[in-house]
Each structure stands twice: as C-alpha cells, then as structure tokens.
A and B are shown apart, each in its own frame.
Chain A
C-alpha cells in the first residue's frame, strides 16, 4: 500500500508543470556547474593541484546539488499534507484502509522518488568522464550517498511542516526557516559543540570528500526520524481532534 501511494503521489506530481520546470532548471544549473568545474580544474597548473578531479567535482558539483536540494525540497513538500488537509481531500487517505504511518511513508517515498533524479544527476554527469580520465568511484559514491541522506533529511523536515500547517505558504516558510538555521549553525557556532553538530554542512562535507563516518550517517538518520516523528504526531493529533 505504501508503494501504491508513493507511485500515485509521484505520478500526480509529474503531471504538474512545476515538476518539469524544476527538473529543467536543475539540469541546466548542474551542467553549467559541471562544465565550470572542469574548466577551473583544467586551468590550474599541475603543480598547484592539491586535489584530484573527483575531489574537485565532489566539492563544486555536489556542493551546488546540496544547495539546490535545500531550495527545491520545501517546494516539493509544501503541498504534501497542507493542501489535502485544507481542501478536505485528505479524507481520501484517512478513510482508506491505511494507517497514518503508511500515509506518511507513501508521501515521503513519492517525493523521494522525484528527488532521486537530483541525486543521480551529479553522479551521471561525473561518470560521463569515465572513459576519458581516471575517477575515484569511492568518492563519487560517498558524495552521492551524502546527497541521498540530505534529501531524506530535508524531505522529512518539509513533510513535518506541511503536516503542521494547513497553509502551504506557512509550511514552506517553516521548512526554509529550519533548513537555513541548520545551515547557518555551521558557521556561527563553536566547533565540537552540540549546536555545531546540529548543522548539516559539516556532516555533508565529510561525505563530499569521500569520508563515510557512522557519526554522519547517524546525524542524517536522526534528523529524518525526528521530523518524521513530528509529522506523524501531528497526523495522530489531527485524528484525535
């Protein structure tokens, strides 16, 4: 049932112009960044190249992908719950033989399916160089894993705000607020403090650079589970009235 709902949500979203315009913009921006990264790498004198091409791509291409992820996720999630709750079409799900967790999981997977395209694009662009230059596949996979975890965490944040408010605008504002706060904590808090640990950029940077550490994986999964639990609580409370 979860997959049915996820597939249904994905198909519905792919029918909207927003899905295709967003995809086109993402592809254009990532391609432009990819070419820019190649050009800047080629311009560097061989002696001053402290990082390989894959590292260079990991920082530039996957860096831009993370910013795009931050921008598009609240747009993708804002209507997931707030719209059906506002218009009453949520009754379609709540009166179906589905639990709140199944509804939440289905909505989550539906958005995640779309985001997989964004996750796969930087990897695909990087792999297009495979035949011409040696690449570090481990680093590419690590950076892709980072992007994947980022999309899981960001989607959970977006869904929780969508479930919290019946108004899509409020849901988007809340998501952007939390995402920006978690971004800024990286620069404005002491390294090693709990607040610094809450910031996502340092955890993502490890993965961008090819470092897969348990503590980063735990961070992203905790982030996702915490906000999904918030969304679930909100759905439960709504049913309780």
Chain B
C-alpha cells in the first residue's frame, strides 16, 4: 500500500536538549496513528515539524511523495493541521473564517464555498455559521478548528490533542469524525490519554523524553503474561525457581505477573504452583492492553 506520510530520522533539538530523537514513521490511507506520551515527551514538536510549522534539526518528511523541505507548498497542500489550541480568529464569524482558511489553502472562490459547506456539515457547524467564534463554547471552537483542518480535503490530517477539554458527548462526536476521516485519509494524532488512543487509533507510537520506545499495533502478538494471585505471599524469586516459569514480578503483595519458559504450557505451571501449597486463588492469561504496553515501554522494558 502506498505511504502517504513518511518521516525518516526526523529529529529536533532545542540547544542543548534533544527534544525529539530520530524518528521513522509511515502512514497509509486508513491509518490512525496515535502519538502517546506524557507531557513534554515531544508529541507536539513532532506534529509541528510534520506540518511545516517548525523546521527539523535532522531527517526528512514526505507527504504523498513531496519533500516538505524541498517542495513545501505541494506538501502543505496535502496536510490539515489542528494544533493543541485551535488557531482561530475570535472576531470573525464561523462561515467567514472557514472561507478565508479555504482560500489560504489555495482553493478558488467557488471551491472554497463548497469546501466550507462540506466541512460545516462534517463538523456539525451548520447552525453556528453566522455566530462570532469568540461567542462559541469550547466544544464548538474545537470543532471549528477541526473544520479548518479538513476543509481542503487533505490527504493527511494532523490533530494535536483533538479532544482535550471537551465533554464526553463532544469527545464521542470527534472520535466518530476521526473514524470517518480515516476511511479516505491518514490521521496522525497525539494524546497523553491512554483511553483516547485506545478508542480511536489502530497504531501507536509511545514516546518518552523525545525517544520512541514503542511503535506498533495496539494489541501486539508478544509473549503472553499470566496474572497469579496467591493467598500466601512468597517472594517472587521463590516462585521463579519453578522450572515452567521464565520470569516473575510483583508490584503488590500476593499478586504476580508471570511468563512461561519456552515450550511450557500454562497447565504445567499451574500444577507446579498447586504442588507448592501457596494457595492459588487466581491464574489467568493477561491481555496486552495499551496500559500494559505503555507501562512496559516507559519503564525501560520496551517491546
């Protein structure tokens, strides 16, 4: 499948700190890639570099085959960008603002009017077209910001914390819209909210202090881990002595996370545990949810 967005060794430093370490990304149509990381991890910096707002210190960005540094106009025509704070002109009316944005994106007058009507419809702004932007609620302002990002029908939509500060109903709406957009475009969004990424994205990049510590699917096919709860509370080292187990760790008394040794089956591990008379009260395979991936990746045990 053709890649719409490619970054190669994209990096950025603000002397003396390297805020984004070399990063390779690729997005195809239908992708919703989430940048996940705590505040200050470099998410917004990456998005700003990809949309041309900030020059990278190293590496390259290609949008639909156009290099952002060498052919910025061609590349930027194909990008829609919603920064963390929606870039709005509060003294303008919604319709007027969207029309101006469309013209700035190089659309002709007639096309700009059509594009505005479409974006208003998609972002549910039809009723507020004649309202002043500064008089709209935060949710509506966010939607106006989203509308200006998709007005010109870009191939890549870049959204920085798109649901930040919205109420649950508005969050659901924005998520639905992102899902619709991804049917024909590539969407790159950032969030520090695990639930947000889990609900919207099909791929994730986890960042920590500017470094990519995980990149891949939300549900990787890694080694299965097992959750074990014992009535007795033996030290993890004692449990790890069992021949069917590879690793044992514990973050709270009596609750353990296990991995099996190569070729061993869960039934063997369970029978060995039962034989020790530690009082097994729970033994179950764990699903690798995003929280687990995130905790593993950011605690230095990157997948």
Chain A interface residue count, CB cutoff 8 Å, equals 25
- Closest chain-A Cβ to B142's Cβ sits at a distance in Å of 13
In the complex the two chains form, is A94's CB within 8 Å of B52's CB?
A: yes
Bound CA span A131–B161, Å:
66
Bound CA span A235–B14, Å:
17
Bound CA span A16–B100, Å:
17
Bound CA span A28–B187, Å:
55
In the complex the two chains form, is A8's CB within 8 Å of B54's CB?
A: no
Q: Does A98 contact B (CB under 8 A)?
A: yes
**Which residues from B are CB-within-8-Å of A8?**
100, 103-104
Nearest CB to that of B14 among chain A residues? A241
Indicate whether A16 sits within 8 Å of B91 (C-beta atoms), given known contacts A93-B104, A97-B106, A98-B104. yes
Contact with B along A103-138 (1 / 0, CB 8 A): 000000000000000000000000000000000000
**Which residues from B are CB-within-8-Å of A98?**
73, 104
In the complex the two chains form, is B91's CB within 8 Å of A92's CB?
A: no
**Which residues from A are CB-within-8-Å of B88?**
89
**Contacting residue for A239 out of B54, B74, B106, CB 8 A:** B54
Chain B interface residue count, CB cutoff 8 Å, equals 31
Q: Does A42 contact B (CB under 8 A)?
A: no
Bound CA span A87–B77, Å:
23
In the complex the two chains form, is B87's CB within 8 Å of A12's CB?
A: no
**Which residues from B are CB-within-8-Å of A92?**
87, 101, 104, 148
**Contacting residue for A15 out of B48, B73, B91, CB 8 A:** B91
Nearest CB to that of B45 among chain A residues? A241
Q: Does A46 contact B (CB under 8 A)?
A: no
Q: Does A67 contact B (CB under 8 A)?
A: no
- Closest chain-B Cβ to A188's Cβ sits at a distance in Å of 42
20 pairs across A/B with beta carbons < 8 Å? A1-B106, A5-B104, A8-B104, A12-B91, A12-B92, A16-B91, A84-B87, A89-B85, A89-B88, A89-B89, A91-B51, A91-B53, A91-B87, A95-B52, A97-B72, A97-B73, A97-B76, A97-B77, A97-B106, A239-B55
